[in-house]
Amino acid sequence: MSLPASRRSAIPPFLVMDVVAEAGRLEAAGHDIVHMEVGEPGGGPPGLAVAAATAALVAGGLGYTPALGMARLRQRIARHYQDWYGVTVDPGRIAVTTGASGGFVLAFLASFDAGARVLVADPSYPCYRNVMAGLGIEAVRVATGPADGFQPTPAELDAVPGRIDGLVLQSPANPTGTMLDDARLAALARWARERGVRLIVDEIYQGITYEASPTTVLKVEPEAVVVNSFSKFWSMTGWRVGWLVLPEPLVRPVERLAQNLFISTPTIAQIAAAAALDADEELRPRVQTYRHNRDILKNAMAAIGLDRIAPPDGAFYLWIDIRATGLPAGTLASRLLHEAHVAVTPGMDFDPVDGQHWIRLSFAGPTERIRLGAERLQAALAPILDRPGLSSR
């Protein structure tokens, strides 16, 4: 007799990973696929990180670290806040985590009991909702739109009925690339503080910004929980190392949880991450490559009439309104993958209600691949949009 899985495991899939799997099957069959579906930075980890990891492998002795992370990495992260933002952070408030994903699990468990109600914007990173569902926390979705850069406003939050225990923000945002400046962050932080609502801010795309300088919620609200990662600006996705900045009352609860759930973040990844924080000179030019890729892709989509795009001020995504195609996002994404051999993400991952009208394109890859993908997308989409004159571009 087979026993059933738990009810808490019945959470939605992360749809982009299904796209990745199907793209892999097509590649195995011999097709050349341009990957615009996943947020995978180009360029690989910085050389300083690779050198530090290599030296650590040769030296050996890569045992467990304290559950909150190596002291030198926590100290170096604290200095990062001073260097980038002019903000003083006590290293004792920093917890090194197994990627931002592990950070969210720890932050949600330490902050909320089962049954808590936490506000999450639509569209946003789907794993917020899905992790909460697995933990018995209710993700209360707040619809946003282009008028406010797909970021929530205090008025929209006030319109949500019932008790609210938490608010999750993201800046720069996934999938939209939009950002919250200091004034808007301060207004949302004040809203949360006055109502006794726990504020958690996802800042994993900090450093990948174009028209504005990076900022942090800690400039306006030192009691916020901040989630960050070495996956995006530092191009270390597979190393699985991130961090939390915590208010003092959450430090020991997070430590207890980390001890029991993860023991510690991989030691070699922590060593590499500490070195990566000194690699700005190598990494800054990559942001300029992303900017160039963004402009190529945005201009290509506008040329065929798909010009309703969220302002991509940071991160490396275009969030594109596809209503003009007359096709739902899942159907369009499948056609683009199988006919144009370009992998894109249907918007339902990020917005279960309105996402059928949107797709997300990642421009994090090499410029030549982004250019090829743009050409293939134009050729495939122009006939659908009744713009056949562009189909051979």
- Residues 51, 37 share a domain: no
Q: Are residues 139 and 192 in the same domain?
A: yes
19: CB partners within 8 A, 6+ apart: 37, 38, 333, 337, 343, 344, 345, 346
Tokens of 390: 């562009």
Residue type, 196: G
Q: Are residues 85 and 187 in the same domain?
A: yes
Query: Do 304 and 224 fall within a single domain?
Result: no
Q: What tokens were used for 15?
A: 């749809």
The pLDDT, as a whole number, for residue 392 is: 38
pLDDT under 70: residue ranges of the chain: 387-393
- Name, in order, each residue with C-beta under 8 angstroms of 333's C-beta and a sequence gap of 6 or more: 19, 344, 345, 346, 359
pTM, to two decimals: 0.94
Report yes or no on 76 lying in a domain.
Answer: yes
- Kindly state the tokens that stand for 362: 């990642």
What one-character DSSP code corresponds to residue 46? -
Shared domain check, 247 and 134 = yes
CATH of the domain at 184: 3.40.640.10
Give whole-number Cα distances, 239 to 232, 236, 266, in Å: 11, 5, 8
- Convert the pLDDT of each residue in 210-226 to its tens digit: 988 889 999 999 999 99
Residues 154 and 266 in one domain: yes
Q: Say whether both 259 and 311 belong to one domain.
A: no
Q: Which phi and psi angles does 168 have, rounded to 5°?
A: -110, 125
Q: Any idea what the CATH number is for the domain that residue 311 is in?
A: 3.90.1150.10
**Residue 354 counted as domain residue:** yes
| Domain assignment of residue 106, yes or no | yes
Report yes or no on 226 lying in a domain. Answer: yes
Do 325 and 240 sit in the same domain of this protein? no
What is the distance in angstroms between the CA of the first residue and the CA of the last residue of the chain?
Answer: 58
Q: Measured between alpha carbons, how far is 172 from 196 in angstroms, rounded to an integer?
A: 25
Q: Is the peptide bond before 266 cis (omega within 30 degrees of 0)?
A: no
Residue finishing a domain among 279, 308, 324: 279
Which structural domain range is residue 285 located in? 7-44+281-384
Residue with tokens 């590649």: 27
**Nearest of 13, 17, 102, 39 to residue 236 by alpha carbon:** 39
159 and 148 in one domain?
A: yes
Q: Which two tokens stand for residue 3?
A: 């026993």
Q: Are residues 64 and 183 in the same domain?
A: yes
- Domain's final residue, options 223, 254, 279: 279
In a domain, 2, yes or no: no
Q: What is the DSSP letter of 340?
A: I
Q: What does the pLDDT read at residue 388? A: 57
Residue 389 lies in a domain: no
Per residue in 165-199, pLDDT (tens digit) is: 999 999 999 999 999 999 999 999 999 999 999 99
**Residue 4 half-sphere exposure toward CB, CA atoms < 13 A:** 5
Which residue, 279, 298, 325, sits at the end of a domain?
Answer: 279
Helix, strand or coil, per DSSP, at residue 152:
coil
Q: Is residue 194 part of a domain?
A: yes
Residue found under tokens 């209710």: 138
pLDDT for residue 130: 94
Q: Mark whether 193 and 299 lie in a shared domain.
A: no
Distances in whole angstroms, Cα of residue 100 to Cα of each of 78, 209, 281, 376: 17, 19, 24, 33
Q: How many CB atoms lie within 10 A of CB 252?
A: 12
State the pLDDT at residue 264. Answer: 97
What's the total number of domains in the chain?
Answer: 2
Angle at 300 between CA 212 and CA 348, to 5 degrees: 75
Residues 148 and 104 in one domain: yes
pLDDT (0 to 100) of residue 391:
43
Does residue 303 sit within a domain? yes
DSSP code of 309?
Answer: B
Specify the pLDDT at position 393.
39
Quote the pLDDT of residue 283.
96
**What is the predicted pLDDT for the residue at 197?**
98
